[in-house]
Amino acid sequence: MRKLAIVTATLLIAAGCANNTQQVTVSLHELYAGRDTIPAELYGQFSEHLGRCIYEGIWVGPESSIPNVDGYRIDVLEALRDIKIPVLRWPGGCFADEYHWMDGIGPKENRPMMVNNNWGGTVEDNSFGTHEFLNLCEMLGTEPYISGNVGSGTVEELAKWVEYMTAEEGTMADLRAANGRKEPWKVKYIGVGNESWGCGGDMTAQYYSDVFKRYALYARNYGETKLFKIACGASEADYDWTKTMMLNARGQMNGLSLHYYTVPGWDCDKGSATQFTEEEYYRTLTRTSGVDNILRKHIGIMDSLDPERKVALILDEWGTWFEVEPGFNKGHLYQQNTMRDAIVAALNLNIFPKYVQRLKMCNIAQVVNVLQAMILTDGPRMVLTPTYHVFRMFSVHHNAVVVPSSVKCGTIVSSDGETMPDFSVSASTKDGVIHVSMANPYLDKDVPVELSFDSLNPSVIKGEILSAPSVNAYNDFGKEPTVVPAAFDKAKATGNKVKLTLPAASVVMLEIR
């Protein structure tokens, strides 16, 4: 077991819940549930042609010695089914704006090789293309989200891609059928460019808003398909981008994206995924909690220009971004994943439901082998990360109704002066059951929690906890996993209350009736 290295004096100040005797209280207003549903898409995923995400992580090809079905590795497929991925974004990311979809259809031997210029210059054989991705989505029961090429592609290319995927008849439908797929796929989400302010074309918001309208206009609806068109949005706190897009193009878009990564390092060093100090731990958490403020401010701009909420906010990239693991290609963004990542995931997934009236999709980056991944592979071997377990635990919130809550807790201040609540919770109800997900971010403090209901005299049906021997513990290849969920039976119901103590650095899900 690795120990967390403490290299500096702790600069952490905790207020409000400053000692173990002071408890967190959460009022759960089950009588006021019913207004808002949590879209399953808030728990979405992102898959890019980057490093070993697609090739090796998902696709090994039918000839591989790694057990596969039609080229998709079976271990990964089965694990992904268990977290019930609601939506999967593909093929990028920055990759999307250099991807030419016609290179990835038809007989494999005729597909050209391509250099992945964004990500390490790796040469790809285009064996994973539109058919392979959309068939994967069908196998997973997942809604596809296609990210179209605006940076280096043409209007015609995107228009034809949509036609190829969704038209029932015509030249593109015939070509699709000749390539083995008669029926159109169901494709709803189309992204019109990615990071068009950077790797997707280096455009200004004003210029991109016109470009967006042109590309969006010719991406047509065919048959039953009603596209949901997502414009490239801001990075982090670029509120001017959001404002310009909303002023110039809100009538043409269904969604506007946002990217927010948790990069806790300073200068050029993003810090190690596994070797971090207590100070870096809390800085990671306050940084990730900053998404709350960022979401609120972008939504404020959208509310003022679109009070009827016709345009959704789509956080289509989020997650931790640390230094690449030693010995791996720096362009492949491969990082390990510890209990710290699990806490990050839980904090985010507890924040997103606050904004369901405007926020309709969130995609963590990325699903396999890249950044804050669910799954890591090493040739034929696979591990499930702590983040995977959080996504599996939180899947009970998919399409459930928000149970409003009010929380009394304290504040954590990290060494860079950023603050966050020292307790994290969200709750939902479905089929007569209430699920309450909680996280205790403290490294060294168990926190007593009292949940109280409006009128329900609850009983706790089930509890599950994710914790680890140390916060930088991770699941490694060829070893017994150290970060795995376990049953949690320490929540006790009396009257209209449930009481429990949340262990330090843990995530707990309770099922209450």
Q: Select which of 163, 195, 278, 464 is catalytic.
A: 195
Rg of the chain's alpha carbons, rounded to an integer? Answer: 23
Copy the structure tokens of residue 435: 């699920």
All residues at 6 or more sequence positions from 30 whose CB lies less than 8 Å from its CB, including other chains: 403, 429, 434, 453, 454, 455, 456
Q: Tell me: does residue 93 bind ligand AHR (CB under 6 A).
A: yes
Cβ at position 92, least distance to ligand AHR in Å = 5
Single out the segment in contact with ligand AHR by CB under 6 A; choices: 13-21, 90-98, 126-134, 421-429: 90-98
Cβ at position 155, least distance to ligand AHR in Å = 21
Cβ at position 289, least distance to ligand AHR in Å = 20
Q: How far apart are CA 386 and CA 409, in angstroms?
A: 25
Copy the structure tokens of residue 287: 């940084």
Helices then strands, counting H and E runs in the chain, come out as 10, 28
Give the nearer residue to ligand AHR in terms of CB position, either 199 or 382. 199
Single out the segment in contact with ligand AHR by CB under 6 A; choices: 89-97, 452-460, 485-493, 501-509: 89-97
Give the nearer residue to ligand AHR in terms of CB position, either 375 or 439. 375
State the residue for tokens 């009022």: 27
The alpha carbon of 142 is separated from its chain's Cα centroid by a whole number of angstroms, namely: 14
Give the nearer residue to ligand AHR in terms of CB position, either 94 or 167. 94
Neighbours of 346 (CB within 10 A): 29
Beta bridge partners of 434: 429, 512
Q: Select which of 41, 163, 279, 317 is catalytic.
A: 317
- Using CB under 6 A as the binding rule, the residues of this chain from 181 to 210 that contact ligand AHR are 194-195
Helix or strand or coil: residue 117?
Answer: coil
- Using CB under 6 A as the binding rule, the residues of this chain from 127 to 166 that contact ligand AHR are none
Q: Tell me: does residue 97 bind ligand AHR (CB under 6 A).
A: no
Q: For this structure, is 124 an active site residue? A: no
Cβ at position 194, least distance to ligand AHR in Å = 5
Q: Tell me: does residue 92 bind ligand AHR (CB under 6 A).
A: yes
Are the C-beta atoms of 94 and 151 separated by less than 8 Å?
no
- Using CB under 6 A as the binding rule, the residues of this chain from 215 to 254 that contact ligand AHR are none
Residue 318 CA: distances (Å) to CA of 203, 246, 373, 499: 22, 22, 11, 33
Single out the segment in contact with ligand AHR by CB under 6 A; choices: 1-9, 88-96, 106-114, 415-423: 88-96
Give the residue at shortest CB distance from ligand AHR: 93
CA-nearest of 226, 442, 474, 459 to 339 is 474
Q: Which of 40, 42, 44, 48 binds ligand AHR (CB under 6 A)?
A: 48
Q: How far apart are CA 271 and CA 276, in angstroms?
A: 7
Are the C-beta atoms of 196 and 183 separated by less than 8 Å?
no
Q: Tell me: does residue 317 bind ligand AHR (CB under 6 A).
A: yes
Q: Which of 94, 315, 347, 401 binds ligand AHR (CB under 6 A)?
A: 94
Q: Tell me: does residue 124 bind ligand AHR (CB under 6 A).
A: no
String of contacts with ligand AHR for each residue 339-368, x by CB under 6 A: --------------------------xx--
Give the count of residues interacting with ligand AHR (CB under 6 A).
10
Are the C-beta atoms of 176 and 185 separated by less than 8 Å?
no
Cβ at position 318, least distance to ligand AHR in Å = 10
List phi, psi (to 5°) of 402: -65, 130
Beta bridge partners of 481: none
State the residue for tokens 């918001």: 205
Are the C-beta atoms of 228 and 254 separated by less than 8 Å?
yes
Are the C-beta atoms of 471 and 4 separated by less than 8 Å?
yes
Give the nearer residue to ligand AHR in terms of CB position, either 94 or 187. 94
Q: For this structure, is 195 an active site residue? A: yes
Which spans of this chain sit near ligand AHR (rule: CB under 6 A)? 48, 92-94, 194-195, 317, 365-366, 371
Catalytic residues: 195, 317
